[in-house]
Amino acid sequence: MFFYNSLLQKNKELFIVFFIFISIFIFNILLEYKNYLNFKENKHPSIQATIIQIYQKKNKKNKNYFVLKLKNKNFTFYTTSFKDLNLSKNENIELRIITTNLNFKDYLSKNFYAPSYNIKSLGFSKNPKIIDYFLNQHENEKIKELYGALFFALPISLELRTDINYYGIAHLIAISGYHIGLIFSFLFFLLSPIYSFFQKKYFPYRNLKFDLSIVIFTFLIIYAYLIGFVPSYIRSLIMLLWGFYLISKNIKLISFVNLFLSVCICIALFPKLLFSVGFLFSILGVFYIFLYLHHFSKYFKPFINILLLNVWTFFAMILPVIYFFPLLSYQQILAIFISIIFAIFYPLVLFLHFINEGGLLDDYLILFFNFKLYAINFKIPFFIFLAYILLSLLSMRFKILALFCISLNFLPFIFI
């Protein structure tokens, strides 16, 4: 009887939580729809935006045209021009876009295509001084892009993105939970001795871990403002705050239910994440980490678990990543080791930039990106991707199925 009452109470609490999430989600959807209708009211609105990518392509008639990826404070969108307007990356422009064929789904995703005309240059805007301080330490444009993305979530060129895909390390470049974890750990290690000194002398009754966590979270929120509230960063920050709440309430953190609840929080607050590939990757990444810990962590010592977890997560993500980004190379296996090295590299280069020695490793990084092994485009059908996800979910229950799912990710490498 006690078990039944406890289960009933737990289900009741979950129902209330889900009801709150759904209410917030519906409110945000209705708000976005209202904004969508207002946006569509003017069929040719004038927009100011910044060029974050520009490249040339050919159409079916072999005629050249330019593709512009633009960003303003509300959304990111693509447009095209058959005229060479002599525009550059990071240049601010004003243009009129045609919203006639823009549907609500595309508007909600904050990432869409819109035809345009009357494109005019507004010149270049200045970066905040701290960004210039970091980037001016480098001469090579590709390395500037790398550190701009690594520290300030600035967009990167197609060339650098291809280099990154050869190594399979896009998750290390895009600011997300991995970086938040490193920043949190670095600041905690840095501030602990200072806080501990004053705590012992003036306020021994305070909890060091709790107080420092609040201070670091404040810094992380300020950092979110500095980099422009990047979705991947905000998503990870919300999940970290949710995890902090669970720990403070002595609730088990590593739980598939808690992962599901954190996903619900993110989607309720930011419905556009429903269409974000990066969001899907981050969910899957955490899910496969939990899957390993759930089934296998008890069999090994902590150090061995860290090594195996890197290998496990890398191979678990092969099929999902290939489905969206079909570049495949044996070189990507190096990501297992690079992920471990990155835990040292990231705080090291951050420190070097603070002391104005950020360019110290530039020559090595240029060699690193110039190295390329043979690669192929390996496309997998949607039904295989879907089947893999469903099998992964079932593997929460069956250990042998979890091993089978991971082993499937070795198969694509046979075709190289």
SS3 track for 207-237:
CHHHHHHHHHHHHHHHHHHHCCCCHHHHHHH
- The pLDDT of residue 262: 83
How far apart CA 8 and CA 16 sit, in angstroms, is: 12
Closest CA to 135 of 124, 145, 122: 145
Please check whether residues 110 and 228 belong to one and the same domain.
no
Compute the distance between CA of residue 120 and CA of residue 316 in angstroms, rounded to an integer: 46
Instruction: Judge whether 140 lies within some domain.
Output: no
Distance CA 279, CA 286 (A): 11
Q: Are both 258 and 354 inside the same structural domain? A: yes
132 falls within a domain: no
300 and 385 share one domain? yes
Same domain (yes/no): 23, 117: no
Q: What is the pLDDT along the chain (416 residues), one digit of tens a residue?
A: 444 445 445 567 777 878 888 999 999 999 999 999 999 888 899 999 998 888 888 877 788 888 999 988 888 899 998 888 788 888 899 999 999 889 999 999 888 999 998 999 888 877 788 889 999 999 999 999 999 999 988 888 888 988 998 998 888 888 877 788 888 888 898 899 998 888 888 888 888 888 899 999 999 988 888 887 777 787 788 878 888 887 777 777 678 888 888 888 889 988 988 888 888 888 898 899 999 999 998 888 888 998 899 899 999 999 999 999 898 999 999 999 998 899 889 989 999 999 999 999 999 999 999 999 899 999 999 999 999 999 999 999 999 999 999 999 999 999 88
Please check whether residue 105 is in contact with residue 82, taking contact to mean a CB–CB distance below 8 angstroms: no
Token reading at 379: 């496309």
Torsion of CA 378, 384, 390, 391, to 10 degrees: -80
- Residue 124, pLDDT score: 84
164 and 32, same structural domain? no
**Residue 170 placed within a domain:** yes
Residue 367 and residue 250 share a domain: yes
Query: φ, ψ for residue 82 (rounded to 5)?
Result: -85, -10
Closest CA to 178 of 329, 322, 310, 269: 310
Q: Residues 76, 212: one domain?
A: no
What's 332's DSSP letter? G
DSSP E strand stretches across 72-209: 76-81, 91-97, 111-113, 116-124
The total of structural domains in the chain comes to 3
- Domain of residue 88, CATH code: 2.40.50.140
207 occurs within a structural domain: yes
So what's the pLDDT on residue 398? Answer: 92
Distance CA 15, CA 261 (A): 12
15 and 98 co-located in one domain = no
The predicted pLDDT at position 3 comes to: 42
* Whether 225 and 266 share a structural domain: yes
Q: Say if CB 317 and CB 277 are below 8 A apart.
A: no
Do 389 and 284 share a structural domain?
yes
- 3-class DSSP assignment, residue 253: coil
pLDDT for position 114: 92
Position 5 scores a pLDDT of 47
User: Taking a C-beta distance cutoff of 8 angstroms, is the pair 66, 55 a contact?
Assistant: yes
Is residue 97 a part of any domain in this protein? yes
Inside any domain, residue 130: no
pTM, whole model, 2 decimals? Answer: 0.84
Put the strands of the sheet holding 111-113 in their side by side order. Answer: 111-113, 76-81, 64-71, 46-58, 91-97, 116-124
DSSP code of 203? -
Q: Which domain does 71 fall in, by range?
A: 42-125
Q: Where does residue 379 rank: exposed (0-12), middle (13-18), buried (19+ CB within 10 A)?
A: exposed
Taking alpha carbons only, the member of 71, 87, 70, 88 closest to residue 79 is 70
